[in-house]
Amino acid sequence: MKLLRVGAVGAERPALLDQDGVLRDLSELVPEIDGELLSDPSALARVREAAAAGTLPALDAEGLRIGPPLGRIGKVVCIGLNYHDHAAETGAATPAEPIVFFKAPDTVIGPNDTVLVPRKSVKTDWEVELAVVIGRTARYLDSADEALAHVAGYAVANDVSEREWQIERGGTWDKGKNCETFNPLGPWLVTADEVPDPQALGLKLWVNGELKQDGNTSDQIFPVAEVVRYVSQFMTLYPGDVINTGTPAGVAMGQPEPKPFLRGGDVVELEIEGLGRQRQELKQA
């Protein structure tokens, strides 16, 4: 299933995109797309049955904003330097273990919402990423199979980053990762049963129509199952938590001087095979 949330900021309603590309209203069936729904097999079964029966009312998608596909996100866990080609382009050694950092849930916006370039920023960068959404409480998982069994679904994320603040200002990466609007997510959450192999997904990103990133999740240093298993050793993952799993080569930071960092007026478009497409116009904060 493709689950999403539509409507004005703060007033999104749950919806479903059916197999014919018709937007369907879920608001009379479930109150929200969130961890409570994703962890409830019977509720998900009711959604599937209603979608198959064709009883869900259609929504007019014309001019309707798509919000982030999840409400009430608990935490956003991120994995850095998780593609061989991205580590190489930045001159970094291949990590021996996953690099973990966080984004605050309030960085998450809709897939086509405006991204704000922070004041005094000169190194705002893009990162197309596969986002993993947790569907079952995960603690001390033992195997790849067990890890994947705790995944509710997948989505497209743009891990927007301010590289000067991330790398040059001391401390952790968090200063360059948590600016407002820095985590567009969506357009929808594709349930795990429709993604048979998360290590076989193409990722692309364009800036002002120019292809910048063209990678595949097969190049991940730590695949999705290992990321989920590993993270569960250090923290409890709850339904509705999100893990951004890293980006392939092609970010501005890895390109020759003068590096083409983002400015107000730029347009970023990104997609992951089978998971949908995003488009953001950038403005100065």
What is the pLDDT confidence band of residue 200, given thresholds at 50, 70 and 90? very high
103: pLDDT strictly greater than 90: yes
Q: What is the pLDDT of residue 186?
A: 98
Counting residues of the chain whose pLDDT is more than 90, the rounded percentage is: 97
Q: Are residues 218 and 180 in the same domain?
A: yes
Would residue 66 count as lying in a domain?
no
Q: What is the pLDDT of residue 92?
A: 87
Would residue 69 count as lying in a domain?
no
Q: Are residues 177 and 85 in the same domain?
A: yes
Q: Are residues 195 and 90 in the same domain?
A: yes
> How many CB atoms neighbour CB 78 within 10 A?
27
Q: What is the pTM of this model?
A: 0.97
For the chain, how many structural domains are there in total? 2
Would residue 262 count as lying in a domain?
yes
Q: Which tokens in the block code for residue 214?
A: 């063209």
91: pLDDT strictly greater than 90: no
Instruction: Quickly list H helices, 91-215.
Output: 144-149, 163
Q: What is the pLDDT of residue 171?
A: 85
Q: Are residues 86 and 33 in the same domain?
A: no
Q: Are residues 80 and 48 in the same domain?
A: no
Q: Are residues 11 and 45 in the same domain?
A: yes
Distance CA 62, CA 180 (A): 27
Q: Are residues 123 and 229 in the same domain?
A: yes
What is the pLDDT confidence band of residue 109, given thresholds at 50, 70 and 90? very high
Residue with tokens 């092609």: 250
Q: Which domain holds residue 246?
A: 76-284
Fill in the amino acid letter for 223: P
